[in-house]
Structures are given as C-alpha cells and as structure tokens.
Structure 1
Amino acid sequence: MSFLELDRVAKQFGPQTVVDDFSLTVGKGEFVSFLGPSGCGKTTTLQMIAGFLDPSRGAIRLEGRDLTAMQPAKRGLGVVFQSYALFPHMTAAENVAFGLEMRRVPRAECRERVRAALEMVGLAGYEERYPRRMSGGQQQRVALARALVIRPSVLLLDEPLSNLDAKLREDMQIELRQIQRNLGTTTILVTHDQNEAMSLSDRIVVMNQGCIEQIGTPQETYERPASAFVSQFLGKTNDLAATIDLSATPRRLAAGSWSVPAPAGIAGPVTVSIRPERIGFGDAGIAAKIVTRIFQGNHWLFQCESECGPVIVIRQNDGQPQPAEGEAVRLAWRPEDMSLRGAGGVA
C-alpha cells in the first residue's frame, strides 16, 4: 500500500478546471516535487492535500485513510508557506511551540521538542529572537522547525525558498535535503525552479495546465522528457527536425548531414531532443557556425546557427582552446544521449 495516494483528483473553480485527473502515489520517506510554471495547478494540489481546498472530485488517502472530509488540523501534516507565516509578536521558540500547544503537549515535553527542533535547523540560541530581528534564512528555518516539531506524517512545502537570494537559497536546499533524509519525513515540495526540484527530489511531477506531463526521477525527466513541454521547461534543450530514411537498410534517422540507424517504434517526421552539454565539436556531424560564445566560469555557452536551425552547446571549461565566434564547426552527439518524439511515440 502506498503511503500517500491521490486518486484522480480534480479541482474546479466555476467553469474553470485548475487541476484535472491528478493521480500519484508517494512512498513513505520519499521527497516528491511538483514542478511547473505559475498557474499550472501545483499549489492548488498541495492545498487539497493540506485540506485548505476541497477536491471537486477524486480521493486523497494517507495510509489508507480518506482525508477528503477531514479538517486540516486533524490530518497531522506540516506546512511551510512561501511567506513563512510566522507570528510577529511571538519569539522563535513561541512560534515553534504553537502547534504543540494546540495539541496540548505537556509543557516540559514541549520545551524539549522546541529546543531540539531549533537546534536541528541551526538556530540554537535564537529562542528569544523575534521574527523582525531575523534574516530571511533564519525565518525560513523557524518556519521549518515549526512544521517539523509536530512530527508530521507528511511535510508540505509551498515554495519556501523563493524569497531567498541565490546563494542562501542554494545553502538552504542542501540543509533541507539533509534534514529530510535524517528524519525520513515524507515531503511534497511545490516549486517553479527546475534546479531546486532536481537537487532535492527523489521524483519530480512535472505539471502543465492542471495536468501531469511526466513523473520520474530527476535523471529520467531530464534525460528522457516525455513531451515537448517537459523538454523545454526542464533545463535547456535543442529540438531539431529529423526524418526517417525508409529507403535505407537498415532505416536511418537523419538531421541534416548527421545520420544514425533509426530506432524501432518511430516513424515519419520526428523531433530530436538533445541537451546542450551532450553535443560535442568534431570532424563529423551537422554543419554549423559559432554565432556567440559566452564564458560562464565553469563552462562555455555557444549559440550556433546550423543547417538544422539554432543550436545551443555547453562545454565544460577544461582549460583547452574553444572555437571562436564566426568559426565553422561540426556538431555531433551519441545516439544514446538523445530522445525522439514522432508519430510512433517517444524513444
């Protein structure tokens, strides 16, 4: 039996369907991210799990128990909001203790659990600090401690890192993942940041216009996107028009002057999707010219104009000479590094 299950869940606001036919099973201790652009339904789905919104249809089950008619406070879930939602008139310790007091946890036990929770998130010694005297990262830690101190069955995170600057956000991602792994708490994260989803998640649910586009591990969704939307949304990619040469034996897949044996299950015009870092410069491949060369520290980014259209190439900065702007090059990649979309499906 799955730990958390969403069974064909949908949500409508009047005539508008915001989430449609959403089905997902989450294992105990798993970290799953809902990833997608603004308005795709990911926060609405999280709010239905939390109980802040009622599904229009479908069921949500936790360890086999139907949560649909259960009040949010009785679901045993921890929630961290984008705005942190700390009480400004309460100290850090009082904010963290709030959920325990509502559950009438004995005072001595409450104090010890609050102390342990603040220590866990690196805020030992901040017990008497008020939110207005804390940085954004510190407030985020208080909000996380408040959600975890009640020992929730599931931790729900609604873009909790979006208000932090880039460096602090990266640091908090590492800390959040370490805390989650140490506690083994089943966690659902809502984010529009693909790097955050790939850094933190065991699995990613890619959403678009209220529907699931793909569910998979970060590596699966990145390297084998199931749709054009996933390919374009999850990192940079190159989509090149290609054809199947049926007259060749065996059949061949060709994009410009690049050609390889065609895989089974694909027919007619196809799209080759290839990540920029999988493309190399060589003696064979599609003809191209370097239009722009950009140095980005640990790698170079090349914008190329090829016989198949615009192509982005990313090469690691290994100290070796790189092609110059205006230089003619050949672009090639290994067949196992590409994914195909065509009339016969995805390969």
Structure 2
Amino acid sequence: MPPWQVRTAARTPRDRAQRGNRGHRTIEPWRGRVVTTSGPAVRVDGVVKRYGDTTAVDGIGFDVERAQVLALLGPNGAGKTTTVEMCEGFVTPDSGSVRVLGLDPIADSDRLRPRIGVMLQGGGAYPGARAGEMLDLVAAYSADPLDPEWLLRTLGLQDNRRTPYRRLSGGQQQRLALACALVGRPEIVFLDEPTAGLDAQARLIVWELIDSLRRDGVSVLLTTHMMDEAEQLADQLVIIDHGRIVAAGTPAEVTAHGAAGQLRFTAPPKLDLELLKAALPEGFSPRETAPGAYLVEGEISPQVLATVTAWCARIDVLPSDIRIDQRRLEDVFLELTGRDLRG
C-alpha cells in the first residue's frame, strides 16, 4: 500500500471541512503513531527574548492544540521567527517557558528531536547536494521514515532527484524543505513560510498536505505572509507585533475584531471626504486606501449605502465597483499593526 491513501478531495481544505470527511485524504503511516497524550502540542508561557537592548519577544504566550494548525502572523521584525526558533530548540528564552509535546526543547532536545519536523526558511541546504541525496540523508536519521521517493512524487520533485540544490527553482527548494520536514513522520511540524515562491498549483498541493496532516493527528505551527493561506488552513491565529500578541483566536474571531462590514467603491482620486464623514453615522471614518479606491467601515446598512451614493451625486461623481464585503483578515492586521504583512 502506498504511504498516502487518496480519496476524492474537494477543492480546498475549508471546502472539505464544509463537506465533512468525504474529501479526507489520509496519510496512513501516521495512524497509530501520533501520541495523543493530554495537554497541548506546544505551550508558550510568558516568553521573553532579548538581543542586547532589543526585546525581540516580550512576554507572549499561546498554545498549539493537538491535531490543529496555528498560524503565527506578524510584520517583518515582529518576533515570529524568534518565537518559532525557541519552540524548535534553536534559541533559549531569557525568561518564561516553552514546552513541545510536554518536553523542554533545550533540555530534552535528544528526546524531542525525532518527534518534530522543522522546515527552515531557505531550506538550510548544501548548494551542491542533490535533492534526492538530501532527502535520503534526512530519512536516514529517522527510525521509521516515510518513503523518500513517494514524498518526491507527491511534491512534484521526482524529476529533480539528481538536481543540485543550487539549480532548483525557489519553489522547488521550498518543496524539498517541506519534504525534509515530513520524512521522519513527526508528531508536530514547524513550517516557516511553507508556500513562499510557489505557483498556485503547488500551493494547493502543500495546503492539501498540511490539512491532511492535521486530520491524521499531526500538529502544525506555521508562519506565513499570505492572509488567504492563514484563513484557509489555520484553526487558530496569533498576530504579534513588536514582540507582543495583539490578537489571537480562530479566523472568525479575529476577523470579527472592530468593524462588522466594509463598503468599497472606486471614484476619482483625492476626493475630499469630510462631507461624507459628516453625513455618515457616528463612528464611520471613510478613507482612500489607494488612489481612487475608497473604503467605508462599520455596520453597513441600506441607509449607509444611500448616504454614500447621495454624497457622490452631490459632488457630481459617478462611483463604480460598489461592493459590500465581509471583514477581511488583512484589514484587521493593518488596523492592529499599521503595517502590511509583507512590509
């Protein structure tokens, strides 16, 4: 039997969740192997990490529950990579505690290392090593590895087995790093930007992999710069900025933060919005998010829509692309941090 028994899959992990288990793709080797002991897979409690006068992580705490995906979001320099490295046992916290599968990642590293998978940003590879050799080497350190050939096929790397790492494209390097993280059948996987540089088809393959891992009891802690990825994959979100948690919860809970809805429309740029602000109910603050792109946030009602169109008529402007959207994760992120996730 191949390592991965495939059943009919829906288009995305969230689609499958809506349809129940009919789209469940099962990774058979994990069955009976993942230890379902009490307590979270990861517990970060009041952790602080300083580098000189800079506090990279400032007292954060969260849990990654068993068989769940937690996405860690934050602008560059927010402290998310340092946080993940403390969970992986690569960095020692100055205060607070980290437990992974009930163990200290530093003191119990020998016992913990065979049970976790780590996907390093940039792959952490030797440039001259061949892709297949790298994966075989990582597999050799595991007592019960997955079949490397199956992993290469699953991630679309079967034709690159003899290709030196430096000759792989960025997307191929990412997929190889993911294969190396999974080949040892870990109970928890740490993924740093797992789909960075991948095309749409490759991203979907990785999403399917991550969702299947969760369904079969594997816990996942990932960082990502892609809001749609976080919304699709994560059971829990943690947003950090300047080393502190600014929001946490399920995607629905986080996106419910602040305004309940959005009215967007297109019009000539640099319009004076003071009259519109005065006409709207208290608490509404219209703004131009990009040249010619306008946003009104709040409890969008027929009266609010009528006020906006009446204002446009008053200043002799014909708006276009009028739409009412649900609150998006990206909007919440910008509101909380004041920075784009990629910034």
User: Where on the TM-score scale, by shorter chain, does this alignment land: which range?
Assistant: 0.5 to 0.7
Partner of 1:117: 151
Q: Residues 9 and 57 of structure 1 are in contact (CA less than 8 Å); yes or no, is this contact kept in structure 2?
A: yes
Q: Could you tell me the TM-score, scaled by structure 2's length?
A: 0.64
Q: How many residues align?
A: 265
Q: Distance in 2 between matches of 1:86 and 1:277?
A: 48
Deviation for aligned residue 1:188: 1.3
Structure 1 gap ranges (5+): 237-254, 260-268, 291-304, 307-324, 339-347
Q: Is it true that 1:7 corresponds to 2:55 in the alignment?
A: no
Partner of 1:251: none
Larger Rg: 1
Partner of 1:205: 238
Partner of 1:195: 228
How is 1:212-291 mapped onto 2 (pairs within 5 angstroms)? 212-225=245-258, 256-259=278-281, 284-286=306-308, 288-289=311-312
1:37-79 Cα distance to aligned partner (Å, 9 max, x none): 1111111101111111101111111232233423388433222
Match of 1:81 among 117, 120, 123: 120
Match of 2:66 among 28, 46, 58: 28
State the AA in 1 paired with 2:244. Answer: C
Q: Residues 41 and 66 of structure 2 are in contact (CA less than 8 Å); yes or no, is this contact kept in structure 1?
A: yes
Identity across aligned pairs (percent)? 29
SS of equivalent residue, structure 1 residue 289: helix
SS of equivalent residue, structure 1 residue 65: coil
Partner of 2:83: 45
Q: Residues 50 and 72 of structure 1 are in contact (CA less than 8 Å); yes or no, is this contact kept in structure 2?
A: no
Distance 1:129 1:23, change over 3 A: same
Q: Is it true that 1:152 corresponds to 2:182 in the alignment?
A: no
How is 1:171-190 mapped onto 2 (pairs within 5 angstroms)? 171-184=201-214, 185-190=218-223
Q: CA RMSD in A?
A: 4.0
1:249-305 Cα distance to aligned partner (Å, 9 max, x none): xxxxxx74444xxxxxxxxx8577987698588763355339xxxxxxxxxxxxxx9
Q: Residues 45 and 60 of structure 2 are in contact (CA less than 8 Å); yes or no, is this contact kept in structure 1?
A: yes
Q: Distance in 2 between matches of 1:147 and 1:337?
A: 34
Q: Distance in 2 between matches of 1:337 and 1:71?
A: 42
Q: Distance in 1 between matches of 2:319 and 2:127?
A: 61
Partner of 2:12: none
Partner of 1:127: 161
> Per chain length, whose mean CA-contact separation is higher, i.e. which structure has more relative contact order (CA < 8 Å, sep 6+)?
2
State the AA in 2 paired with 1:24. Answer: F
Deviation for aligned residue 1:146: 0.8
Deviation for aligned residue 1:8: 1.2
Distance 1:43 1:225, change over 3 A: farther
Distance 1:289 1:187, change over 3 A: same
Q: Could you tell me the TM-score, scaled by structure 1's length?
A: 0.64
Partner of 1:326: 317
Match of 1:140 among 147, 166, 174: 174
Structure 2 gap ranges (5+): 1-38, 265-276, 287-294, 329-343
1:74-116 Cα distance to aligned partner (Å, 9 max, x none): 433222222122323322221112223234x4xxx76x62122
Runs of 4+ with >4 A deviation: 269-283, 331-334
Q: Which has the higher strand share?
A: 1
Distance 1:147 1:333, change over 3 A: closer
